[in-house]
Amino acid sequence: MFFRSFFDESLAQMSYLVGCQQTGEAIVIDPARSIEPYLGMARKKGLKIIAAAETHIHADFVSGSREIAQHCDATLYVSDEGDEQWEYNQLEDIDYVLLKDGSTFMIGQIEFTVMHTAGHTPESISFVLTDKGGGSSQPMGIFTGDFVFVGDIGRPDLLEKAVGVIGSAELGASQMFQSLQKFKQLPDYLQVWPGHGAGSACGKALGAVPMSTVGYEKLNNWALREEDQENFIKTLLTGQSTPPNYFAMMKKFNKMGPPLVSEGKTNKIRTVKELEGHDANAVLVDTRRAAEFAKGHLEGTINIPFNQSFTNWAGELIDYNSEIILIAEESKLNAIKESLSSIGLDRIVGFIEPFDVLADDKQLESYGEVDVKQVQEYLLDDQYHLVDVRNESEWTEGRIEGAEHMPLNLLTKQLDDLPKGKTYLVHCKSGARSAIASSLLQAHGYKDVMNVKGGYLAWLKETNKQAPVIK
């Protein structure tokens, strides 16, 4: 048997290519939208991808299952569990098989047995793998999707918080408890291959180790040690972060079937004057580092640096109905487009290189940085207004007295609450999110902005925790 895992760091998402070396047939489990890594590995190993399978309708990325089904003339295996509200739609144009608890299917001499593991979502299933071609009658491992992670489990509140299905969080937590009782009955030696690693918003505290075993999780995973259902539900639902705004869109895409990826070239815009000829409602996204953006940028642009957090913040802040123009180096363009495509942001109509933007310095604006010593002085002056863009849990743990809380993912919805005509001092935990927020404020007309260097951590260090911090 051939086995290879793939990890998308920007989404902390795991997918898997499994092949039967006797027959040369392979399957991809929970594929990302960009399918070339699987195709390339299959070619390298002399395998033909004949199937793709999903553990559930994903909320955090656009699935590549239908892409594989179309490109490889492959069969799609998906869940037929859960209620009508969360059934897969528009499968008519591909070969598909609906799966229920206890269903089995073969890829060459490799057997997959389905376990219904509701909780994260009603339709969630896991796949128990047995390598019969290798001479074994006992299972080797289980693909758990967003059911069981290393050190944690999937959150059951996404349907309620992200999609608005009232009451589904408590029901999902109860279903999760029951599903875990089934999981505990599996052999301790069974390998656990999860759908996410550390950094995913699909759980509270996922481990960074890429795989585990049932026995290890029974010993160390809090959710598998908790025997009281009421305590389990309370613990599971407490402290879950606010899901990213784009999760609801991902659910819709993956339920209805996302459009196939277009490989068209992106129009290169060579001057700022040429840029002015594009749709005025297009979103201008500058992908440079925050320090470079702060020194000079086009009016109306938002700064989302192309780093590990780029995909998440793009999904949070870019309207899916808007066209996108990128300010990016051409050498990075394909990687940026792939990141945006992974969450369904496909409407990229052009790009311009930073050098060409900076060449027209007459139309540039900038913002400054301020250190925490200066912030302490400025807060004595009513002209300055402190804006905290951290999330709710960070704000609850401690904050600077006098700050106004406007989480970055909600900032543009709360702008009317900002007092006009002030100098806005923007801070987060370290200075990264507040740099994005500073660009958003300027793009929406709040021009007098300063980013607090080092953020809340620098404030605590500078003031020795003796400054006016309230909880």
| Catalytic residue numbers, as ranges | 428
Where does 348-400 have alpha helices with state H?
354-358, 372-378, 392-397
Residue 375 identity (one-letter amino acid): V
Please list the residues that pair with 388 across neighbouring strands: 405, 427
Select from 277, 282, 104, 141 the least CA-distant residue to 217. Answer: 141
Q: Whole-angstrom Cα distance, residue 305 to residue 407?
A: 18
Q: Whole-angstrom Cα distance, residue 404 to residue 390?
A: 11
User: Does residue 49 contact residue 241 with C-beta atoms inside 8 Å?
Assistant: no
Q: Whole-angstrom Cα distance, residue 63 to residue 348?
A: 20
Where does 318-406 have alpha helices with state H?
333-341, 354-358, 372-378, 392-397
Q: How far is CA 143 from CA 37, 56, 148, 372, in A?
A: 19, 12, 9, 48
Please list the residues that pair with 4 across neighbouring strands: 17
Burial class (CB in 10 A: 0-12, 13-18, 19+), 217: buried
